[in-house]
Amino acid sequence: MPLHAKISTGSITGPTGVPALLVLEDGRTFRGESFGAEGETFGEAVFSTGMTGYQETLTDPSYHKQVVVMTAPHVGNTGMNDEDPESRRIWVAGYVVRDPARVPSSWRSKRSLDDELRVQGVVGISGIDTRALTRHLRERGAMRVGISTVESDPDALLQKVLAAPAMSGAELADEVTTGEPYVVPAVGERRHTVAVLDLGIKGMTPYLMAQRGIEVHVLPATATLDDVLAVGADSRGPDGLFYSNGPGDPAATKDQVELLGQALGRGIPYFGICFGNQLFGRALGFGTYKLKYGHRGINQPVMDRTTGKVEVTAHNHGFAVDAPLEGETQTPYGTASVSHVNLNDNCVEGLELRGPDGRLKGFSVQYHPEAAAGPHDAGYLFDRFLALMGGEL
Amino acid sequence: MPKRTDISSVMVIGSGPIVIGQACEFDYSGTQACRVLKAEGLRVILVNSNPATIMTDPEFADATYVEPITPEYVEKVIAKERPDALLATLGGQTALNCAVALDAAGVLEKYGVELIGASIEAIDRGENRQQFKKIVEDLGGEVARSRICHSMDDLLAAADELGYPMVVRPSFTMGGAGSGMAYDESDLRRIGGAGLAASPTTEVLLEESILGWKEYELEVMRDTRDNVVIVCSIENLDPMGVHTGDSITVAPAMTLTDREYQKMRDLAIGIIRAVGVDTGGCNIQYAVNPEDGRLIVIEMNPRVSRSSALASKATGFPIAKIAAKVAIGYTLDEIQNDITRETPASFEPTLDYVVVKVPRFAFEKFPGADPVLTTHMKSVGEAMAIGRNFTEALQKALRSLEKPEAVFDWRHEYVDLDKAALLEEIRTPTDGRLKKVMDAIRAGAGAEEIVESTRIDPWFVDQLFLINEVAVAILEAEELTPELLRLAKRHGFSDVQVGKLRGMTADVVRGVRHALGIRPVYKTVDTCAAEFAAATPYHYSSYDEETEVEPRTRPAVVILGSGPNRIGQGIEFDYSCVHASLALSEAGYETVMVNCNPETVSTDYDTSDRLYFEPLTLEDVLEIVHAEEQAGPVVGVVCQLGGQTPLGLAQALKDNGVPIVGTTPEAIHLAEERGAFGRVLAQAGLTAPKHGMATTFQEAQEIAARIGYPVLVRPSYVLGGRGMQIVYDDDALKTYIEAATEISPDRPVLVDKFVDDAVEIDVDALYDGEELFLGGVMEHIEEAGIHSGDSSCALPPITLGASEVERIRKATHAIAEGVGVRGLINIQFALGSDVLYVLEANPRASRTVPFVSKATATPLAKAAARVMLGESIADLRAAGVLPAEGDGGTLPPTQPIAVKEAVMPFNRFRDAEGRQVDTVLGPEMKSTGEVMGLDADFGRAFAKSQAGAFGPLPTRGRIFVSMANRDKRTMIFPIKVLADYGFEILATQGTAEVLRRNGVPSTVVRKHFEGAGPEGEKTTVQMILDGEVDLVINTPNGSSSGREARIDGYEIRTAAVMANIASITTVQGLGAAVQGIEALNRGDIEVRSLQEWAALVGHHG
Ligand SMILES: Nc1ncnc2c1ncn2[C@@H]1O[C@H](COP(=O)(O)OP(=O)(O)O)[C@@H](O)[C@H]1O
Ligand SMILES: Nc1ncnc2c1ncn2[C@@H]1O[C@H](COP(=O)(O)OP(=O)(O)O)[C@@H](O)[C@H]1O
Ligand SMILES: [Mg+2]
Ligand SMILES: [Mg+2]
């Protein structure tokens, strides 16, 4: 009879007990324990406030080159499964959590988060005051950060952080987009054919389109107008064009904005989300700017100004479109207006483009109607896209 | 959509007396609602029979009716006030049922009152399980297979289809009253039978068992524009089979992937729409099969619930407040999130901490009660704790319970724990199971074994392993390193726990900790995980890096609350704390509230300037005081208003250099330590009942012989009348002493002369060192011997003369002075054969403070708070806080009579065989709540108190009468009156004789101790239990007539409690009842608001 059970299901001081160091570009330092892969990593420090869906978050290409701080203290509780990833790999540059799970618990779990991070070589840190870090980022804004299990001297790590590239001006679509075009067949009878520009697309997006009878042709970010027009049965090209979410600074993106302009010129119905909203904005002649610390979470209240209803929505963006909230703006392609607004900070969450006849030509939202992770309140936007292509709007 | 313009007055119905399943969470929600509606410029009309609530304070409504929540009385209020709308979704099941009844009776239509929040149809769709089932299935959801039954035959037939075990659920009962698990036919006959009886629609639902599944709850909020948000997700640590109210619950849900969570969310939104709760909050429960994720909807409550209060405190999203706003037309996006002050309420709170709620039970009060947790709620209160991780929150919550045995404890590490036995034990959910689980882990059980036995989710089980591993590390370490200590703190270990592990005292551990600078930081509950700055200082402690306590300049007063509700310490104490907070911020102080009870108004972040949601232990309070001293000047800590909990901390706080305001710890000791108090009485020339202390039967016997039977015995080391018993002879004394464990020289048994046939008197008074302000003198209707908390009483006293009140005033003054009270004191006297005995003095706010304050329209607790901080009663009279002259002892003739009646939880407790537990009332308190009846004369007031507590007095039917000899003469006339009203009179032999000789016909029935007759004639008790009697009149015999007669009296009274009918135990009561019945017959009982009474009596506010 043992005096005490020692069947340990994990270490009591973090997953490994190996010390790790986190340093922000303004010098603020946190010490914790290594989580996931050991080593060193750099990126833009951002925080995400979602309480569920870390697996979707990790595999969202929009987080490419970002070190994500989870505000929810317990992460990894449901492990990792084979159904929930939103892309082929984990994209975050680094991962910061307070209390990683020692054992996952879910009938769908295949492996632990810690193992997965290690396998994919993602460096993380655990056991730090994530709320303090979050408040720091809220007050000072998103900034560069480094995490290391090899470097224990904050100053030395700080030098490396300052040497790392910043997010502003970064063009990253090419790094996350698909190498080859591919097609997601429509579920049931095919109603429309859509060309989708993959700027960092999440698996749920083509899935939801296909569910609605759309044949989804996913093209690399480098696709040209001809590539787009080649989609679809006849010379009229696709029934619609879709731009996905993705990482990087929209201001640094040229080609896709041009492409979008040409497509709009040809009257191809357009739907864009997130990065696709920012590029739509630029194509319409609006500016984009970097938010102080962005919107990352699944509880953001957005008002759909056409219905006056509020949607609770999933967000992941550090940049926003600079368009007048009130009134209409004349553009080469028609009349543009702001269709959705964030009720927390009044930033632009959606754009609408109408022709002289008042008919809808294209629209976009800054948030994620495909959710994953997040509420399904905005799913109706895919139906709106359908209606748009059906000429009903 | 802005506020509706077609509503200018709203009636709010409260939830009445505190009962199991419906506690002060509804005072919290109702108070918020009233605040909001009033602020919106609406005329608020409130009905609630519970005087201990904040919401019934005159300032919270324009017209406050402390009247019974029965359709009859509420209709009177409606007829008088003609409200435009009725809001019934914030007063629990009581208010909802009342609204349904009013609608059925056509009252709402008759007076053109619109039901806002949820329509009758919505309520029905939500509560009628068949309709609800259809709604869920239409949404593609699943519910457990079930059958509706209206008779025992239905039940048995359905059983064949569903198979055992099954859940038995009576329709339209609250807190699962009458429901349970049937494992075989006898269970089914038992629970099902009771269920049919319990259901107002004699409808019982049989349901497929999904025991052991994961259980979840979502709190949902909807507005007129159909915007819907999920406020909070809650996961039960105890799997399906244990009522949520009895489960350890955790927010947010810990073991759901986003896909599963969104599935629940989608269903919740679909359900609230389909059910048609057009505005406000509702609560939806789910079960998830851990094997394959199969999702089942258990139920929805189309109203604000206990969980809503928990969710509000857990997230900072004030559900009731917002429910009230959307009910009058606002949309969520038009309502500001008053924690961030910059974002709207149309969002979903996100947490960066973990919240754990643990129930508190009172089985020790109900010997024989089956302690197994099942589908109907048995807990009487709960504690909540917040931490930055689960282990921290859990351990904080467990110590918040104030039950030492609830806290994990590795002290007996060298005792071999029997793993197999423990694994078997923890299969059955009981109070304290979690601790047994920990013992099983210590005994070497593996995670899988624990999961197999308990069905507790593996993630939670691993967290328990983590706690154990940390404990072992501390236990086995060469020395207690800073790292280890930090680690222990990070996982919620208290200094006491660490001390036990290291064989040091908590004080030493604290010393070491402070020397190493290891102290908690205070984080903020901000609804948004720090995405936006928080404007409300709602704090919780955590051993993390950065603290968020803001510096301040104004002097602060720290008010200690009363912790989880328990029998003897409940809402009444929260009432006093809240009042102190209001009074002190008016007086210019910064108020800092400390409490861990999620149901209360005190833990509403709106109540005080700062709120610390923390356990009320020495360690936690000392750290808060330290943090606040860092932030600015601290005047002191108020320990006098939260009941025994803070009172017990006073001395230790002072020893640690914390200033205590009001009555000093030394004075408290004078009142609480028997010897010292005896000297105080002697000095004042007052008498206490003869008494002595014994550690053996012999000693006890000698004392008893000296002072004479009956005697009252109790252990000296427990509070709240625990283990008190009246003993009539040596045999009984022997039995008691032998049963009483833990007797030792330093833990003797107290033996008191039991004062017979005595009137008990309760007094609440204020003392400032010079002047005494007699708050109120309450005359108990039951004789001394029934705990002051359980007996009904009248204020002003109905039979005491001015001279007696003067004696009481003098005695109270002398005791207050002798003890050295600064603030409130509560004294219980027994007046027997013209001797005034002092039973006890409590140098603190008492259970009756809110009752007295309301009855006399005098804010006693507010005044007390200011006296504690140095103002004199004269100052307060001048300031208009207290009446310019006179006090509760000199009430004007226009003063209405207030009657307090206690409400018992007996009907919730059955023994393992399903028999009702013993319901005898005695010196140990057992009631959970109270109501107040207020009217011009005692008869009407009494009638109202009965209506509020049990239902209206009968105006026809059968009356059972059994009178003590001394009362036989006085009863004749009133009984004759009742007979003339057409009541059929049943009586015991002697009583029947007297009645016959006086020309009052009656039928003789057998006494309880005689047992059933040869032809199976029922005894009185049996007839009462079988509902064949409508009113019981029984004045207990003095000891003269021997033990049987007395016990018989108790049996009769408690049978009445069981059958939920009024029973009258005194001639005064009888006279009162006759007057009450008379008034009912005349039909001229009226309702009057507190505000009207105040105007009438000429009181200020
Ligand atoms: N089909 C079932 N099988 C097993 N346990 C159940 C079942 N249905 C309910 N329970 C348990 O009983 C408790 C009370 O049931 P519930 O429907 O919530 O009634 P109440 O209205 O009292 O809350 C639930 O919290 C759950 O733990
Ligand atoms: N000597 C006594 N004679 C008769 N009744 C008593 C006596 N002492 C106590 N009681 C009864 O027991 C009840 C509880 O006793 P009390 O000393 O007030 O304990 P508690 O601390 O629980 O209030 C009292 O309300 C009173 O009815
Ligand atoms: Mg329930
Ligand atoms: Mg008492």
For residue B882, the 8-state DSSP code is: S
Chain B residue with the nearest C-alpha to that of A5: B444
Helix, strand or coil for residue B633? coil
- With cut-offs at 50, 70 and 90, classify the pLDDT of residue A225: very high
Q: Which residues surround ligand 4, an ion (CB under 5 A)?
A: B 788, 828
Q: Is B241 in the pocket of ligand 1 (CB under 6 A)?
A: yes
Q: Which of A55, A73, A84 sits opposite B389 (nearest CB)?
A: A73
Concatenate the DSSP letters of all residues of B139-177 into one string.
TT--B--EEEESSHHHHHHHHHHH-SSEEEEETT-STTT
- Contacts of residue B1083, defined as CB under 8 A and 6 or more positions apart, other chains included, come to none
Mean pLDDT of B282-293: 96
Domain boundary pick from A103, A129, A163: A163
pLDDT digits (tens, 9 = 90+) for B197-247: 777 788 898 999 999 999 999 999 999 999 999 999 999 999 999 999 999
For residue A63, the 8-state DSSP code is: G
| Cα–Cα distance, A138 to A318 (Å, whole number) | 12
Number of A:B CB contacts under 8 A? 201
So what's the pLDDT on residue B755? Answer: 92
- With cut-offs at 50, 70 and 90, classify the pLDDT of residue A312: very high
- Measured from the alpha carbon of residue B829, the closest ligand is 2
Helix, strand or coil for residue B1035? coil
**pLDDT > 70 in chain B, percent:** 96
End-to-end Cα, chain B, rounded Å:
36
Q: Assess if residue A318 is contained within a domain.
A: yes
- In B50-148, alpha helices (H): 71-81, 92-104, 107-110, 120-127, 129-138
| Cα–Cα distance, B922 to B414 (Å, whole number) | 42
Residues A373 and A326 in one domain: yes
> Does the distance separating the beta carbons of A51 and B350 come in below 8 Å?
yes
Reduced 3-state DSSP string for B918-975: CCCCCCCCCCCEEEEEEECCHHHHHHHHHHHHCCCCCCCCEEEEECCHHHHHHHHHHH
Tokens of A260: 């979008």
Q: Which of A122-126, B20-24, B860-864 has the lowest mean pLDDT?
A: B20-24
Q: Which of B331, B353, B444 sits opposite A73 (nearest CB)?
A: B353
Q: Assess if residue A302 is contained within a domain.
A: yes
So what's the pLDDT on residue A5? Answer: 38
| Cα–Cα distance, B317 to B266 (Å, whole number) | 21
pLDDT digits (tens, 9 = 90+) for B60-80: 999 999 999 999 999 999 999
What one-letter code names the amino acid at B1017? Answer: E
Residues A195 and A148 in one domain: no
Q: Is B787 in the pocket of ligand 2 (CB under 6 A)?
A: yes
- Contacts of residue B870, defined as CB under 8 A and 6 or more positions apart, other chains included, come to none
Concatenate the DSSP letters of all residues of B303-316 into one string.
S--HHHHHHHHHHS
Mean pLDDT of B89-95: 93
- With cut-offs at 50, 70 and 90, classify the pLDDT of residue A3: very low
- Output the domain CATH number for residue A159: 3.50.30.20
Residues A154 and A272 in one domain: no
So what's the pLDDT on residue B720? Answer: 56
| Cα–Cα distance, B494 to B502 (Å, whole number) | 12
Q: How many residues does chain A have?
A: 393
So what's the pLDDT on residue A233? Answer: 66
Secondary element (H or E) of residue A319: strand A309-322
Reduced 3-state DSSP string for B637-686: EECCCCCHHHHHHHHHHHHCCCCEECCCHHHHHHHHCHHHHHHHHHHHCC
Residues A130 and A185 in one domain: no
| Cα–Cα distance, A8 to B803 (Å, whole number) | 74
Residues A130 and A258 in one domain: no
pLDDT digits (tens, 9 = 90+) for B647-667: 999 999 999 999 999 999 999
Residue A262 in contact with partner chain B when CB distance is under 8 A = no
Q: Assess if residue A250 is contained within a domain.
A: yes
Q: Which of A306-315, B483-492, B708-717, B1029-1038 has the lowest mean pLDDT?
A: B1029-1038
CB contacts of A134 in chain B (<8 Å) are 352, 529-531
Catalytic residues of A: 274, 368, 370
Q: What angle do CA A20, A24, A26 make, to 5 degrees?
A: 145
Residues A17 and A150 in one domain: yes
**pLDDT > 90 in chain B, percent:** 75
So what's the pLDDT on residue A393? Answer: 86
| Cα–Cα distance, B880 to B1101 (Å, whole number) | 9
Q: Assess if residue A300 is contained within a domain.
A: yes
In contact, B423 and B445? CB cutoff 8 Å: yes
Give the domain range for residue A90.
3-163
So what's the pLDDT on residue A170? Answer: 87
Q: Assess if residue A315 is contained within a domain.
A: yes
In contact, A225 and A259? CB cutoff 8 Å: yes
Q: Assess if residue A80 is contained within a domain.
A: yes
Secondary element (H or E) of residue A265: helix A255-265
Residues A201 and A112 in one domain: no
CB contacts of B472 in chain A (<8 Å) are 4-6
Domain boundary pick from A163, A184, A215: A163
What one-letter code names the amino acid at A33? Answer: E
- Output the domain CATH number for residue A330: 3.40.50.880
- Contacts of residue B503, defined as CB under 8 A and 6 or more positions apart, other chains included, come to none
| Cα–Cα distance, A82 to A20 (Å, whole number) | 29
What atom of ligand 1 comes closest to residue B296's alpha carbon? 1
Q: What angle do CA A350, A355, A358 make, to 5 degrees?
A: 85
- Sheet of B9-13, strand order: B63-65, B43-47, B9-13, B85-87, B114-116
So what's the pLDDT on residue B1006? Answer: 84
Would you report the helix, strand and coil content of chain B in percent, each value rounded to 5? 40, 20, 40
CB contacts of A130 in chain B (<8 Å) are 352
| Cα–Cα distance, B714 to B754 (Å, whole number) | 12
pLDDT digits (tens, 9 = 90+) for B808-864: 999 999 999 999 999 999 999 999 988 999 999 999 999 999 999 999 999 999 999
Nearest CA-CA partner of B770 in B807, B822, B730:
B822
pLDDT at residue A329 greater than cutoff 60: yes
Concatenate the DSSP letters of all residues of B817-881 into one string.
HHHT-SEEEEEEEEEETTEEEEEEEESS--TTHHHHHHHHT--HHHHHHHHHTT--HHHHHHTTS
Tokens of A236: 């009229």
Q: Which of A45-49, B409-413, B501-505, B595-599 has the lowest mean pLDDT?
A: B409-413
Which residue has better confidence, A168 or B566? B566
Mean pLDDT of chain A: 94
ipTM for this model: 0.96
- With cut-offs at 50, 70 and 90, classify the pLDDT of residue B1020: confident
**pLDDT > 70 in chain A, percent:** 96
Tokens of A46: 């951002």
Concatenate the DSSP letters of all residues of A121-162 into one string.
T-EEEESS-HHHHHHHHHHH-SEEEEEESS---HHHHHHHHH
Residues A187 and A123 in one domain: no
| Cα–Cα distance, A385 to A363 (Å, whole number) | 8
CB contacts of A15 in chain B (<8 Å) are none
In contact, B752 and B783? CB cutoff 8 Å: no
- Measured from the alpha carbon of residue B180, the closest ligand is 1
Domain boundary pick from A116, A140, A163: A163
pLDDT at residue B415 greater than cutoff 70: no
Tokens of B368: 């024989």
- Contacts of residue B432, defined as CB under 8 A and 6 or more positions apart, other chains included, come to B405, B406
pLDDT at residue A1 greater than cutoff 50: no
| Cα–Cα distance, B37 to B90 (Å, whole number) | 13
Q: Assess if residue A168 is contained within a domain.
A: no
Q: What angle do CA B537, B542, B548 make, to 5 degrees?
A: 35
pLDDT at residue A288 greater than cutoff 70: yes
pLDDT digits (tens, 9 = 90+) for B425-482: 999 999 999 999 999 999 999 999 999 999 999 999 999 999 999 999 999 999 999 9
Helix, strand or coil for residue A389? helix
| Cα–Cα distance, B466 to A310 (Å, whole number) | 42
So what's the pLDDT on residue A7? Answer: 40
Nearest CA-CA partner of B1052 in B1044, A238, A182, B554:
B1044
pLDDT at residue B903 greater than cutoff 70: yes
- Contacts of residue B607, defined as CB under 8 A and 6 or more positions apart, other chains included, come to B578, B581, B582, B593, B601
Tokens 């505005």 sit at which residue?
B279
Residue B259 Cα, gap to closest chain A Cα (Å):
8
| Cα–Cα distance, B326 to B271 (Å, whole number) | 18
Tokens 């001809």 sit at which residue?
A226
pLDDT digits (tens, 9 = 90+) for B318-331: 999 999 999 999 99
Sign for the CA dihedral angle at A219, A224, A230, A232 comes to: positive
So what's the pLDDT on residue B1043? Answer: 56
> Does the distance separating the beta carbons of A84 and B257 come in below 8 Å?
yes
Mean pLDDT of B156-173: 87
pLDDT at residue B1078 greater than cutoff 90: no
Residues A257 and A138 in one domain: no
> What is this structure's pTM?
0.95
pLDDT at residue B585 greater than cutoff 80: yes
Q: Which of B253, B266, B389 sits opposite A376 (nearest CB)?
A: B266
How many domains is chain A built from?
2
So what's the pLDDT on residue A59? Answer: 98
Which residue has better confidence, B176 or B1059? B1059
Q: Which of B257, B333, B442 sits opposite A52 (nearest CB)?
A: B257
The count of other CB atoms within 10 Å of the CB of residue A82 is 9
CA atoms within 13 A on the CB side of A76: 23
Secondary element (H or E) of residue B34: helix B25-39
Q: Assess if residue A341 is contained within a domain.
A: yes
For chain B, positions 415-434, list CB contacts with chain A under 8 A: 416-417
Helix, strand or coil for residue B58? helix
- With cut-offs at 50, 70 and 90, classify the pLDDT of residue A289: very high
Residues A94 and A56 in one domain: yes
> Does the distance separating the beta carbons of A344 and B532 come in below 8 Å?
yes
Q: How far is the CA of B840 from the centre of ligand 4 (A)?
A: 6
Residues A192 and A154 in one domain: no
Residue identifier of the C-alpha nearest atom 9 of ligand 2: B839
Residue A300 Cα, gap to closest chain B Cα (Å):
6
Residue identifier of the C-alpha nearest atom 20 of ligand 1: B176
- Measured from the alpha carbon of residue B127, the closest ligand is 1
pLDDT digits (tens, 9 = 90+) for B523-556: 999 999 999 999 999 999 999 999 999 999 999 9
Nearest CA-CA partner of A298 in A115, A56, A48, A102:
A48
Residues A74 and A215 in one domain: no
pLDDT digits (tens, 9 = 90+) for B730-743: 998 998 888 776 67
